[in-house]
Amino acid sequence: MVDVSFAPILGWTTLAAPLASSLLILLLGLHRRRLAAALAIAGLLGAFGCTLQLFLLAVNGLLALPFESSILWISLPGFTVEGGILLDELSLLMALVVTGVGSAIFIYSTAYMADDAAYSRYFGMLCLFVCSMLIIVLANNWVQLFIGWELVGFSSYMLIGHWYAKPAAADAGKKAFMVNRVADFGFLLGILALWAVSSPIAAQRTFHFQTLQERIPSFASAGLIPTGLLLLIGLLIFCGPIGKSAQFPLHVWLPDAMEGPTPVSALIHAATMVAAGVFLLCRSFWLFEGLPPVMTAIAWVGGLTAFLAACLASVEGDLKRILAYSTLSQLGYMVMALGLGGRVAGMYHLTTHAFFKALLFLAAGSVIHMTHQQDIWKLGGLWRSMRWTSLAFLIGALALCGFPGLSGFFSKDEILVLAHEHSLPLYLIGTVTAGLTAFYITRAWVVAFLGGDQERRAGESPPAMLIPLGLLALLSIAGGYLGIPYFLGQHEGEFHWGVAAVSLAVVAAGIGLGWAVYRLRVVSAKQLVQALALPYSFLRQRYYVDAFYDWYVAAVQQKLFAGFCAWVERRLIIGLGVNGVAALTRGAGELLRRCQTGKVQAYVLVFLVGVLCIVARTVLH
Amino acid sequence: MITLTHYLIASALLFGIGLAGIMTRRNVLMILLCIEMMFNAANLAFVAYARAAGDVGGQIVVFFIITVAAAEVTVGLAIAILLARQLRTLNVDEVDALKW
């Protein structure tokens, strides 16, 4: 028997290592670039090692899951909050993805950010980012999860706005933070409401995941919690993932977040931040499972996001933004899978997506690093000058399409099988989206990497960037054979030949269309745009969602609502309240000061009258 | 024979004259003199009552009043001198810097 008493220490170290790195960089490393990078990578590799050890223990059955270790943090009468770690299949897999993919990105960053002036701050924030994500992943209660949730929001703000001297980057950081705050408000209300219904006895209310998981379904079936309230709680909690996982209509921050350094985009899109929303849905799956209307809403939000974002990606010209919309679309798939009851399928796709999307982003970063160009129409011919990067991007692209045998194929297929079983319209949306995905990524690869030969002079990126690319490429290829769904539980959907054949046909059609238009030039892209001018301009305006928000903020929020508040404050509170009291006092003083004549005799007269009054009173009594 | 009533009438007359002086005169020195007159009206009343009641308590109070009046005159005259020096006037109507 192997001694596993050190398991809690491993778990806590996973949390503490990136945090310690972040603090040490802040204290010691702000002006020592090498030290900062070394600390960051050491911290993350340490966390990765601990997670891997725990994972291996769990796989070999030595560590009984779920495993919990917690300390009391706040203890008031009727209100306790713990800080703790909860290790189960879900959190272990997620932590492994976060630290593993994160490590690759950290190593890549050393080369990508080599010329950056704020190198140390970048690594410090990167560590904080990963640490916040681990706080979410390992949390055993809602409060801790929410703290991590907000920290992720903060560190993403810092990283997206890393080049804050550039107005677009500063605005993008602000936008990401504020859009997330809007969603988090609903999320927070949901958490508090869940706490309030967690027990009829005030003293026993709790934020604890596992206690809630045991209690709420039984309370609900016993009729202790009104169904309407529970539905509301479900929707409120779903607000969190809508913001963090950038689901329609709060997806607007994610494309703008491309202003950040490319490794940050990779981290946001693969391991941290957007994965948090999907992870949360998995974590609280027991809650949604009992609420079919909420599940339907989740599935449709996901399906719509998948389709709408794939359309946007098809007309985008910026390499990184294409990938951003692609992430939106894939997140839509995951959320749809969860809404259809596919906890394992969603998490599976999250994992494989983390591999190939990190790969795609890092490959795009490698291109941007060497050419300083991210407009696909100005790139081209990279296949000759950057062979390894092109190959890595190709592998990522094929995995994204769901090319048979690569990781994306397996996970996407599971989602489509699930959709096929449960909902025909969503299955159709999913299949069409698969075709669109194949089309836009073929377009991106063909135009940027084959295309003309504008970028002949660009050389290959340094090894520190190519090695992480290679590792992620291996994972993107092999991700489907690692048995991830078996680790999480059982498959929800059996392999279905019909679904697989249809999706393959659609993917082949998408690739074929992309190849025909952009490589063989059967129809030129310009003709295509002219033929579809109306939908094209609609898509180029991003469905006018951003325009709507701009209008809403400027006209409704600022002018109408803020204008009314300003009126209330200026006229009523300040005008009538504060200045009114002052005016009253001054007016009274204005009247009363007339008594002060300055004439001694007048005072004496008043005095005399007073004396006479007293005398008269004494006499009369 | 002179009774208590006579003394009291004399005292009241003195007090009234003093009061009228204070009310009507504008010169600081005159006002101070009138105040002295009113003090002495009060003193007279005290002494008269003490005599009538055969009690020296009233006379003791008079000594107090004389002492306090001396101090009061000192302060009052000092103010009058300062007024004359600073404002070149002893007319109370012109001393109104503290009014609104």
Among A142-156, A253-267, A532-546, the minimum mean pLDDT is found in A532-546
Looking at residue A3, its pLDDT comes to 63
Angstrom CA distances, A519 to A322, A377, A380, A438, B55, stand at: 18, 13, 12, 15, 133
Count CA atoms closer than 13 A to A3's CA, side-chain side: 3
- For A597, which residue in chain B has the nearest alpha carbon? B99
pLDDT in tens, B50-90: 999 988 999 999 999 999 999 999 999 999 999 899 888 88
- Residue B31 at interface with chain A, using a CB cutoff of 8 Å: yes
Angstrom CA distances, A37 to A15, A18, A34, A354, A428, stand at: 19, 12, 5, 23, 47
- What are the residues whose beta carbons fall under 8 Å from the beta carbon of A272, sequence distance 6 or more? A98, A102, A129, A130, A132, A133, A152, A156
Q: Which tokens belong to A333?
A: 């798939």
Residues of B in contact with A608 (CB under 8 A): 19, 23
pLDDT tops 50 at residue A166 = yes
pLDDT bin (cut points 50, 70, 90) of residue A415 is confident
Q: Are A67 and A6 in contact (CB under 8 A)?
A: no
The verdict on a CB contact (< 8 Å) between A596 and B100 is yes
Q: How far apart are CA A63 and CA A49, in angstroms?
A: 16
The verdict on a CB contact (< 8 Å) between B97 and A594 is no
- Residue B99 at interface with chain A, using a CB cutoff of 8 Å: yes
- Residue B19 at interface with chain A, using a CB cutoff of 8 Å: yes
- Residue B90 at interface with chain A, using a CB cutoff of 8 Å: no
pLDDT in tens, A335-370: 998 888 888 888 888 888 888 888 888 888 888 888
Q: Are A270 and A361 in contact (CB under 8 A)?
A: yes
pLDDT in tens, A426-462: 888 888 898 888 888 888 888 888 876 555 566 777 8
Mutation target to probe the B interface, by most B beta carbons within 10 A, among A586, A595, A599, A607 is A599
Among A75-79, A119-123, A358-362, A406-410, the minimum mean pLDDT is found in A75-79
- Counting DSSP H helices and E strands in chain A, the numbers are 28, 2
pLDDT tops 80 at residue A71 = yes
Looking at residue B34, its pLDDT comes to 93
Looking at residue A392, its pLDDT comes to 87
The verdict on a CB contact (< 8 Å) between B96 and A598 is yes
pTM of the model: 0.77
User: Average pLDDT for residues A26-36, to the nearest whole number?
Assistant: 82
ipTM of model: 0.78
Looking at residue A453, its pLDDT comes to 59
**Mean pLDDT, chain A, as a whole number?**
84
- Residue B95 at interface with chain A, using a CB cutoff of 8 Å: yes
- What are the residues whose beta carbons fall under 8 Å from the beta carbon of A434, sequence distance 6 or more? A401, A402, A412, A416, A503, A506, A507, A510
- For B22, which residue in chain A has the nearest alpha carbon? A601
The candidate with the shortest Cα–Cα distance to A349, out of A440, A479, A489, A243, is A479
Bigger pLDDT: A486 or A323? A323
pLDDT in tens, B5-53: 999 999 999 999 999 999 888 899 999 999 999 999 999 999 999 999 9
Residues paired with A75 in a beta bridge: A80
Q: How far apart are CA A203 and CA A414, in angstroms?
A: 44
Looking at residue A1, its pLDDT comes to 45
pLDDT tops 90 at residue B98 = no
Domains of chain B: 4-94 (1.10.287.3510)
Which string of DSSP letters, residue by residue, matches A419-479?
Answer: HHHH-HHHHHHHHHHHHHHHHHHHHHHIIIIIS--TTTT--PPPHHHHHHHHHHHHHHHHG
pLDDT in tens, A460-481: 778 888 888 888 888 888 877 8
pLDDT bin (cut points 50, 70, 90) of residue A197 is confident
- Residue A596 at interface with chain B, using a CB cutoff of 8 Å: yes
* Percent above pLDDT 90 for chain A: 5
Looking at residue A522, its pLDDT comes to 73
Looking at residue B41, its pLDDT comes to 95
